[in-house]
Structure 1
Amino acid sequence: MPGAERGQFSEAARAAFEREPFTVAPASDRMGLRLSGPILERLSRAELRSHGVAPGTVQVPPGGNPVVLAADCQTTGGYPKLAQIASVDLPLLGQARPGDRIWFRTIALAQAQRLDLERERELARLEQGIRLAASRGDSQIRDVQEAYSP
């Protein structure tokens, strides 16, 4: 979804963000996925005050290579926010390894919310299926349930 400071980036940078692939850099960690790819230029170099960020925020430091904030990210940051990753896609980003290629596509908040709801429904159906199989005596399902029960 568009970030709060999206308007601070050139039209060419916004277009490149959606058309070009980015590669996960080796310096990535649980705080953020550092990406290499097209340099995303800002229209202004004005300093920003620190402001709130969350996992999935796409910040762009002065060098122009975006950073997608991850699970252990800080709570505030001072780089412009180009985008916010939909929460439904955060587990996919958590599995990204150095060298993996990532493409971005802008969606509306309503679409992100629909995708999240669909995922929750799929997980509920999966849980229901596991419970049904366990109640029928499927020993493999029971073994898995026992291994992951608190």
Structure 2
Amino acid sequence: MLRAVPSADPEAFTAEARERFFREPYTAAPDSDRMGVRLNGPPLELAVRTEMRSRGVLPGTVQVPAGGQPIVLGADCQTTGGYPVIAHVAAVDLPLLAQLRPGDRVRFRPIGVDEAHRLLLRREAELRLLAAGIRCRRPNR
């Protein structure tokens, strides 16, 4: 389960497509790589088929090309994209995205921006505690 913040551009998709994205499972496609995890599953219908301007994208951005199969941008993604965006995977869950292998099933759970931020801050605090614990366990040299 990957937590994702719904896009600020909901008008690009039908209401059914927005609901389906968070309800139905998807499968990581064999042609996935570090640039993006291509997903196979129920196609997401665009509300309007129109040419979009390119805009900045980040790892975790979920773009939907004309075929309706989502692509979750990975660590080596491009910096701009022109496909409609349905959601953004929370930064705290990006390591889980990177572990997906072809054939793995994944679902998305909607969360708000505030929750995504809280989760990331909590993870960073946990990592600081872990690092401090490791430093304390090292023998003095």
For Structure 1 versus Structure 2, the TM-score category normalised by the shorter chain is over 0.9
User: In the aligned structure 1, how far is the partner of 2:10 from the partner of 2:87?
Assistant: 7
1:114 partnered with 2:118: yes
- 1:76 aligned partner: 80
- 1:14 aligned partner: 18
Rg comparison, structure with higher value: 1
1:66 partnered with 2:51: no
- 1:52 aligned partner: 56
Q: What is the identity, as a one-letter code, of the residue corresponding to 1:46?
A: T
1:40 partnered with 2:44: yes
Q: TM-score, normalised by structure 1?
A: 0.87
Q: 2:96 aligns with which of 92, 95, 105?
A: 92
User: In the aligned structure 2, how far is the partner of 1:121 from the partner of 1:64?
Assistant: 38
User: In the aligned structure 2, how far is the partner of 1:84 from the partner of 1:95?
Assistant: 17
Superposition misfits of 4+ residues, deviation over 3 angstroms: none
Aligned length: 137
SS of the aligned residue for 1:105 comes to strand
Unaligned runs of 5+ in 2: none
User: In the aligned structure 1, how far is the partner of 2:56 from the partner of 2:97?
Assistant: 20
CA contact (8 A) 1:6 1:83 kept: no
User: In the aligned structure 2, how far is the partner of 1:21 from the partner of 1:4?
Assistant: 22
User: In the aligned structure 2, how far is the partner of 1:14 from the partner of 1:41?
Assistant: 9
What is the deviation of 1:5?
Answer: 2.5
Relative to total residues, which structure has the larger helix share, 1 or 2? 1
- 1:148 aligned partner: none
Relative to total residues, which structure has the larger strand share, 1 or 2? 2
